[in-house]
Structure 1
Amino acid sequence: MNTLRFRLDEAFAPDKLACDWVLLDQHNAALAEGRSSPKEWPTADAWIGIVASARARVLRLALPELPPQKFAAALAYAVETRIAGEPQQQQLVAGRRDADGKRPIVVIERAWLETALGALATTGVPLSRLVAEGELPERPLDAWWWQRAAEGGFVLLSEDALPLDDASAALDPPAALVLALERSGAARPTRLLIAGTEPAPEQQLAWARALGLAIEYRPGGDWREIPAARLDAACDLRRLPAESERQEQAEEPLRLWRQAAVLFALAAGVHLGATALDFARLSWRAKQLENEARQLVPGGLAQSAGIPASAAAFRRLYAAARHAAGLPAAQDALPLLARAAPALAPLGEDALRQAHFASGRWTLDLPPLDGPRRQALGTALSRAGLNAIYAEQNGSLRILIEEQTP
């Protein structure tokens, strides 16, 4: 799909139809360009007119949300003090709202616009869109944009536009630009972006010192090279204010949904990233604790008891921490015996013949017990969280009691 872009400069009129044009392919690459009247232009699938900044002034204003039928009057009132002529003699078109809540307002003389549209229609130009040159550059809110040229140059200020033709090699910045900065007040930018005619390096340095701004050159800012998406986003100058406001209000829900989708995707990404980092941190800490525990408990001792080395090590680490705090651990002699005492009590005061504690285990010598009493003792010890191992030895019943392990 080929697109023909043409620029309507300040001199364009029914008797002066010649203007600059460029034919672009679907990748925005130039196929042909020149300057001639519309009847001599090549054929194309889309025809986009670009009105020079000298004819279409771009303001940036904060406008309230109003019904379309009231928007035209509010728009005329907002620009009344900023334009020389009567608002009724101007075509006012509002663009899409920027990130700071302000909207670009294109001001173009209605009589000239009607004459230009009539001349294009007479020559058979199937106009697809008509946009303002000053609305095409994509600039940050903290910067001014200077489309530098010997003719047709302009500067996009924070809320207005300034015609400025300059392509000289002078080291002093243009006086009009210096004056605009002095009057900018709180709206003073931090950067000046220059497109079009590139200044020499020594000019950039001299201007940066004189203006107190960072100077950056941006290639590709000419109307011939602007991405197609920027032209699609610019407001069509053929629309009336109420029509442009209806389009803005119709697109507002979709814009909000897009913003919500972007925020959701960002939040999900942050959540997944934080979860992965937290998992990695916990895994590293668990490995660190396991290594510390293995240093406290010999692996062979834990394995000989049928306990995974890491579990036995953590129990020993916990016991060491309680001992360091002056507290007994669950597998110490007295806590272990206290847990076994309720199970041993039914055997009587004289039942215990001998007792010995070592390595977290009690070894008790008791009188021989019949099957039911031995089973009752084992059940009571198990409920207390203890293991019991029985052995008959020299007419006595020897019981090995230790804490149950998971």
Structure 2
Amino acid sequence: MSVLKIYFSRQWRDSTSPCSWVLSDEQGALLQSGESTIAALPRGHECTGIIAADRVLNIAVALPPGGRRRWQSVLPFVAEEFTLTDPEDNHVVPGQALADGRRMIAVMDKAWIARIVEAARQAKLSLRRMVAEVFLPPLAPDSWTLVWNGSSGFVKTGFASGMALDNGNASTPPIALRLSLDAAPQLPQKIDFRFAQDVAAEQRHMPQWPDLQIPLVAGSDWDWRRASIPEDALNLLWGAFAPRARIQQWWPKLRPAVFLLLAILSIEMAGSNIKWAMLAAEKSRLAKEMQRTFRLTFGDAVTLVNAPLQMQRNLAELRHAAGLPDTGDFLPLLDLVAGSLSRLPAGSVTGLHYEAGRLDIDVRLASRADFEALKLSMQNSGLGVRVGAIRDLGNAAESRLTLLPEGML
């Protein structure tokens, strides 16, 4: 059966946006290709969506005990600390289990995925799989695979791990690659380097990144159109977006197993409900204890709405009254961010504004991608960072960064 592969880049917004596609036969030979809206794609084929690397965040986390049914509601809250969006705005898919007990998860914009699924449904396309491009390149033992277009790309670091890379050049590696190597528990012996298939010949110069201290080994071009998709590749259509099962194909054989599974699930659900009830009771007890501690400390005259937040604010006032600084004061915040700002080109910071424990910094950088690197650097300094709307100025980009003490954003 022929397969229709559809590539969804960061530029795809809705059903009116064009996307690249390719139709291949069972052996992977290309039959047709092009670029068009979803409504104009060839019908009557099994469809697989390929998601650009910069649309998927892959992280390793420790998950609570339980099955995938329970994870569907828990995972958005597990991923919350790694994103600046609300949990309900994230689509989170559990991936490969790691040797240290953690599990890889893939995080995406839920509304964006929903628009893809709805556009395919409206076009009557059978979209049953969606995979991240970062998982598709081959990976040799003790090595990473890097795909590069001359200024950006992505790196695959494991079977179900990888990340998009911010801007770099022939002499300067992407910051995200440096940080990934610094955080790796075991460094690769080499990095297989592949140019994206559509990179022009004059841009195909192997970068010189001696600071990495990891050899770059040139490999063949990377072309998602011709890449095979492993059967065990993580399907991002999970949870609410999972395609309907084709019951008529497997129901007669699996009927006994289904009844047994229902019995097991009933027992598991009963146990989960009991555990969640216990956790809810524990949460209520802790909330009451915090309220009691607050009132013992500050009296009953204050209207209590959020005990932890009000306690933190009152402690800040007490520190100020005693002549001591607080982490939300202007100078401590500025001290935390000074290292990141000092590495920017002269004139990059165009304004500072401080009010009530919040520091706003107006920054002008060369490109949009530079803001992600700056944000990561500030977060590594122990700050909560929110990047506002990025305005394109033609030869530069400008945005306002909001900084708060860690845990307050």
Q: Normalised by the size of structure 1, how large is the TM-score?
A: 0.50
**Which structure features the higher share of helix residues?**
1
The structure whose Rg is larger is: 1
